[in-house]
C-alpha cells in the first residue's frame, strides 16, 4: 500500500497532522497557536533564542552525513552492540506483517513523529506554558547534540541491512525512501534511536502539561513508533534502550533549564521598557 510518493507528500501530510494535533491539544483552531508562536518570536528574545538553538542543532544533524563521509570511520560496531540479539526481528515480521499495519506504522514513523514535536511547540506556546516550551527546546537540542557523536563514531547498521531475512518494509509504503529520505537518516546511524528518544521526550514533557488527552496521545504515539522501528526492520533493541535513556536524560536537563529560563532576566529589560512606555502614554491614547 503506497502512501508516500516523495518528500513533498510527507511534508504536506505533516502540516495537516500538525494542525489537527494543535487543535486536539488546545481545543482551539490551530491558527490561534500559530499567531501566538509568531508573536512570541517577535516580542521575546528568550523565546527566539531557544527556537534558533533548536533549528541550529537540527541543521547540524541534517549535515551529519556529510561530516560522516569526510571522517570515513573504517569500523562497524553492529556485531559488538547488537550481535547478541539473534533473529527475533525475523519472527516479528513473519508473525505480524500486513499491508495495513505497514501503512499505519509508516504514518507514525514519517509523519506523526515530527508532527507531535512541532505541535508541542504550538500547544505550549498557546497555553503560555513557557517552562515546557523552553524544556522542549532544550530536550530536543540535547537529544540531537548527544546522538550525533554516536552517529559519527559508533556506526551500527540497520537490521534489514544485516539480516537477509528481514525486509525493509518502509519501501512498501514509501518506495522512493532511499532516494528521498535516506540523506536525512544514514544507514549506520542506528545507535541510539532518535525516533525513540524524541517521541519519548515529547511524551514525558506532555505528562507535565496538565493536558490529559495530549499526554495520552503522545504516549500512544511513542509506543507505536517504538513498535514501528522494530517492525519496519530498522532498529535493534539496544538502539531503542539507548534512545529511552537519552530521552530521560534530555528531559531531565530540559525541565531544569526550562524552570530556570522561565524565571531568568533575559526578557526583563524589554518587559520593563514596555511597561514604562505604556505608563507614560497619555490617558485615552
| Residue 200 to residues 11, 66, 116, 118, 143, Cα–Cα distance (Å) | 22, 28, 11, 14, 11
Say what the pTM is: 0.90
Taking the alpha carbons at both ends of the chain, their separation in whole angstroms is: 62
> What average pLDDT does the segment 48-67 reach?
85
How many Å apart are CA 110 and CA 120, to the nearest integer?
17
| Residue owning grid cell 505541535 | 119
Is the pLDDT at 282 greater than 50? The verdict is no
pLDDT tens digits along 71-111: 888 999 999 998 889 889 999 999 999 999 999 999 999 99
pLDDT tens digits along 190-200: 999 999 999 99
**Domain spans of the chain?**
31-68+87-264
The residues, any chain, with a CB within 8 Å of residue 232's CB and separated by 6 or more, are 102, 105, 106, 109, 168, 169, 170
172 with 100: CB under 8 angstroms? no
The percentage of residues in the chain with a pLDDT greater than 90, rounded to a whole number, is 79
pLDDT tens digits along 198-216: 999 999 999 999 999 999 9
Residue 116: Cβ-neighbour burial (10 angstroms; 0-12, 13-18, 19+): buried
Residue 267's pLDDT is 58
Neighbouring-strand partners of residue 156? 189
Q: What angle do CA 55, 257, 61 make, to 5 degrees?
A: 25
Could you tell me which residue, 2 or 64, shows the higher pLDDT? Answer: 2
> What average pLDDT does the segment 146-156 reach?
94
Amino acid at each position: 500500500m503506497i502512501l508516500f510518493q516523495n518528500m513533498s507528500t510527507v511534508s504536506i501530510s505533516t502540516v495537516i497532522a500538525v494542525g489537527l494535533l494543535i487543535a486536539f491539544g488546545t481545543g482551539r483552531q490551530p491558527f490561534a497557536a500559530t499567531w501566538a508562536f509568531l508573536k512570541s518570536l517577535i516580542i521575546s528574545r528568550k523565546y527566539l533564542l531557544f527556537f534558533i538553538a533548536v533549528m541550529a542543532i537540527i541543521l547540524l544533524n541534517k549535515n551529519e552525513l556529510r561530516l560522516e563521509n569526510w571522517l570515513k570511520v573504517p569500523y562497524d560496531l553492529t556485531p559488538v552492540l547488537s550481535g547478541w540479539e539473534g533473529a527475533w526481528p525475523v519472527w516479528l515480521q513473519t508473525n505480524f506483517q500486513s499491508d495495513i499495519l505497514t501503512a499505519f506504522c509508516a504514518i507514525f514513523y514519517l509523519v506523526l513523529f515530527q508532527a507531535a514535536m512541532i505541535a508541542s511547540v504550538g500547544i505550549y506556546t498557546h497555553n503560555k506554558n513557557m517552562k515546557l516550551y523552553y524544556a522542549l527546546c532544550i530536550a530536543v537540542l540535547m537529544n540531537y547534540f548527544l546522538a550525533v557523536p554516536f552517529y559519527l563514531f559508533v556506526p551500527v547498521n540497520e537490521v534489514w541491512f544485516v539480516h537477509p531475512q528481514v525486509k525493509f518494509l518502509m519501501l512498501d509504503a514509501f518506495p522512493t525512501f532511499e532516494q528521498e529520505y535516506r540523506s536525512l537518516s544514514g544507514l549506520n546511524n542506528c545507535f541510539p534511536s532518535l525516533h525513540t528518544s524524541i517521541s519519548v521526550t515529547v511524551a514525558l514533557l506532555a505528562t507535565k502539561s496538565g493536558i490529559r488527552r495530549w499526554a495520552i496521545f503522545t504516549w500512544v504515539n511513542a509506543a507505536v513508533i517504538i513498535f514501528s522501528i522494530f517492525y519496519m526492520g530498522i532498529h535493534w533493541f539496544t538502539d531503542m534502550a539507548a534512545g529511552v535513556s537519552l530521552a530521560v536524560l534530555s528531559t531531565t536537563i530540559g525541565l531544569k533549564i526550562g524552570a530556570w529560563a522561565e524565571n531568568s532576566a533575559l526578557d526583563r529589560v524589554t518587559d520593563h521598557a514596555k511597561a514604562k512606555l505604556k505608563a507614560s502614554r497619555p490617558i485615552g491614547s
